[in-house]
């Protein structure tokens, strides 16, 4: 029964991603639907490494700082796919990633299973298999989906370490969260965010919590240490994963309605041209986002952005809240700021061969996806309240991780694709909420079908109309 349900969920995940991948395949060169320039940067690094022009991982001393602005893992992943497949194109990377992303719904199932039981886990996996946002970005040949798989694996291990009081699972969680930073740096501070929560939940059980926290921190350190050494060797500065925090902060100010007032700009090209004017360089003088002197320039961007935030804390708090609201918008399918939040599978109909059964299936799945996207916030909110009542410790740990993404990504420029782990974890709560709703409706249905007993009186004694015996 459970295995059959998992197979059905996996089949739905494969179907929705296959159709959406067909839709995206024809648009991988269209900036309105994808970011071909971002992919091209990683692909160039992968091809240069395969052709022996550059090392796969290490950077020679004096290399352009542009190489340090990207996490190294995705270019290595692309190089691996190119090497194994014998094909060098975004198409082959997309094909590998959407298949693997379909299997990632098992991670959502596992987290739901560990936190709230197998029925909740199954429903959470079902919601993840149909989620327009998770489906769409699972078919993008970029680092976001692979990073999300690693984060979700780390979260599942962290939950298991808490449930089983096992430092080994905590070490695995740290390794997975650190490994995700090879793809995207978003989870870099997540272990530090979780440590005080683990201490709080442990209720002074120091024999349990100290090994867990130490193992978690050790796992992250071991994972990211090669990147730290590489960056220090290449540019002579401590850069935990990548350059660019200052740039994202400054561009995040620039994309607000008061960006021009503070002199902030909202794109990489605009940042380069702004600094060209400040440095009084001629238009033909080479200048990159991080070259020359990229470390100093990125730190100056941080200082400028933080100065604006410190001077206008109330205004910036409003900006953060607005961004949080935008991150949780599941029905605004296209946003110039956050990117698309997903499309249902009916968008792929023009790309598939006309067939009545197939068309009917696609339309049914599309309607189901749109309905669930509209109900997401209600299911998530209700699920969080019910989950906190059922098991507040496990719920609080998962909710804290989701809040981490909301808070950290609201500080700077953010897109929907940066928050895939958060959306997957929120679907775990939605799955529990939907399970409890089904359970309540089933209980009400059972009560309606149950035979009614009508007490009657005879000489002052209650007699059951169904049994005929004195009560």
Domain annotation covers residue 452: no
Q: Return phi, psi of residue 176, to 5°.
A: -70, -45
Q: How confident is the model at residue 470 (pLDDT cuts 50, 70, 90)?
A: very low
Mean pLDDT of 7-18: 95
Of 107-111, 203-207, 409-413, highest mean pLDDT: 107-111
CA-CA distance, 420 to 406, in Å (whole number)? 11
Mean pLDDT of 86-104: 96
283 vs 236, more confident: 283
Of 250, 406, 404, which is closest to residue 324 (Cα–Cα)? 406
Mean pLDDT of 232-238: 77
Q: How confident is the model at residue 464 (pLDDT cuts 50, 70, 90)?
A: very low
pLDDT at 466 over 60: no
240 vs 17, more confident: 17
pLDDT per position as a tens digit, 173-199: 999 999 999 999 999 999 999 999 988
* Structure tokens, 405: 């993404």
Q: How confident is the model at residue 13 (pLDDT cuts 50, 70, 90)?
A: very high
Of 328-332, 340-344, 454-458, highest mean pLDDT: 340-344
pLDDT at 51 over 90: yes
Domain residue limits at 415: 2-446
- For the chain, give the mean pLDDT: 89
Q: Return phi, psi of residue 187, to 5°.
A: -90, 10
Q: What is the pLDDT of residue 463?
A: 47
CA-CA distance, 108 to 425, in Å (whole number)? 7
Domain annotation covers residue 342: yes
What pTM value is reported for the model? 0.91
Q: What is the pLDDT of residue 66?
A: 59
Domain annotation covers residue 458: no
Answer whether 85's CB lies under 8 Å from 92's CB. Answer: yes
Least confident span in 4-13, 122-131, 220-229, 323-332: 323-332
Q: What is the pLDDT of residue 450?
A: 79
Domain annotation covers residue 271: yes
CA-CA distance, 432 to 115, in Å (whole number)? 10
In our burial notation (b when 16+ CB lie closer than 10 A, e otherwise), range 325-363 reads ebbbebeebeeeebbbbbbbbbbbbeeeeeeeeeeeebe
pLDDT at 461 over 50: no
Domain annotation covers residue 170: yes
Number of structural domains in the chain: 1
Domain annotation covers residue 456: no
pLDDT at 443 over 90: no
Answer whether 98's CB lies under 8 Å from 138's CB. Answer: yes
Peptide bond into 292 cis (omega under 30): yes
Q: How confident is the model at residue 236 (pLDDT cuts 50, 70, 90)?
A: confident
pLDDT > 70 fraction of the chain, expressed in percent and rounded: 92
- DSSP state at residue 32: T
pLDDT per position as a tens digit, 159-169: 999 999 899 99
Helix (H, G, I), strand (E, B) or coil at 463: strand
pLDDT at 354 over 90: no
- Phi/psi class of residue 37: alpha, beta or left (left: φ > 0; alpha: ψ in -120 to 50)? alpha
CA-CA distance, 441 to 443, in Å (whole number)? 5
Q: What is the 3-state secondary structure (H, E, C) of 254-270?
A: HCCCCHHHHCCCCCHHH
Domain annotation covers residue 460: no
Mean pLDDT of 275-279: 91
Mean pLDDT of 248-255: 92
The CB-side HSE value for 47 (13 A sphere, CA atoms) comes to 10
Q: What is the pLDDT of residue 349?
A: 78
pLDDT per position as a tens digit, 139-158: 999 999 999 999 999 999 99
Domain annotation covers residue 167: yes
């Amino acid at each position: 029964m459970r295995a059959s349900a998992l197979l059905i969920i996996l089949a739905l995940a494969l179907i929705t991603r296959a159709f959406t991948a067909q839709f995206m395949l024809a648009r991988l060169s269209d900036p309105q639907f994808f970011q071909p320039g971002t992919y091209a940067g990683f692909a160039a690094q992968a091809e240069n490494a395969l052709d022996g022009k550059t090392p796969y991982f290490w950077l020679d001393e004096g290399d352009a700082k542009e190489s340090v602005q990207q996490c190294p893992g995705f270019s290595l992943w692309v190089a691996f796919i190119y090497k194994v497949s014998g094909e060098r194109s975004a198409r082959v990377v997309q094909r590998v990633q959407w298949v693997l992303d379909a299997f990632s719904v098992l991670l959502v199932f596992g987290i739901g299973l560990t936190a709230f039981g197998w029925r909740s886990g199954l429903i959470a996996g079902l919601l993840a298999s149909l989620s327009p946002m998770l489906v769409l970005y699972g078919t993008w040949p970029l680092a976001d989906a692979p990073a999300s798989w690693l984060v979700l694996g780390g979260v599942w291990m962290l939950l298991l370490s808490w449930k089983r009081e096992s430092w080994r699972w905590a070490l695995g969680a740290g390794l997975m969260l650190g490994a995700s930073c090879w793809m995207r740096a978003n989870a870099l501070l997540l272990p530090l965010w979780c440590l005080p929560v683990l201490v709080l939940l442990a209720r002074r059980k120091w024999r349990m919590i100290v090994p867990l926290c130490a193992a978690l921190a050790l796992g992250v350190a071991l994972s990211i240490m090669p990147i730290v050494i590489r960056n220090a060797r290449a540019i002579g500065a401590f850069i935990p994963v990548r350059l660019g925090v200052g740039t994202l902060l400054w561009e995040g100010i620039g994309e607000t309605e008061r960006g021009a007032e503070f002199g902030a700009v909202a794109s990489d090209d605009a940042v380069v041209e702004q600094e060209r004017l400040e440095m009084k360089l001629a238009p033909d003088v080479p200048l990159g986002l991080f070259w020359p002197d990229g470390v100093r320039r990125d730190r100056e961007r941080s200082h400028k952005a933080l100065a604006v935030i410190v001077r206008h804390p109330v205004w910036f708090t409003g900006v953060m809240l607005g961004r949080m609201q935008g991150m949780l918008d599941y029905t605004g399918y296209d946003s110039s700021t956050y990117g698309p939040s997903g499309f249902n599978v009916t968008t792929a109909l023009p790309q598939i061969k006309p067939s009545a059964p197939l068309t009917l299936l696609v339309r049914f799945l599309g309607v189901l996806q749109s309905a669930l996207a509209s109900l997401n916030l209600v299911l998530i909110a209700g699920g969080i309240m019910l989950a906190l009542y059922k098991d507040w410790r496990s719920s609080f740990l998962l909710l804290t991780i989701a809040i981490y993404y909301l808070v950290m990504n609201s500080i700077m420029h953010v897109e929907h694709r940066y928050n895939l782990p958060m959306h997957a974890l929120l679907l775990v709560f939605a799955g529990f909420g939907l399970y409890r709703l089904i359970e309540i409706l089933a209980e009400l249905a059972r009560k309606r079908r149950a035979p009614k007993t009508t007490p009657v009186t005879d000489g002052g004694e209650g007699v059951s109309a169904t049994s005929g015996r004195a009560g």
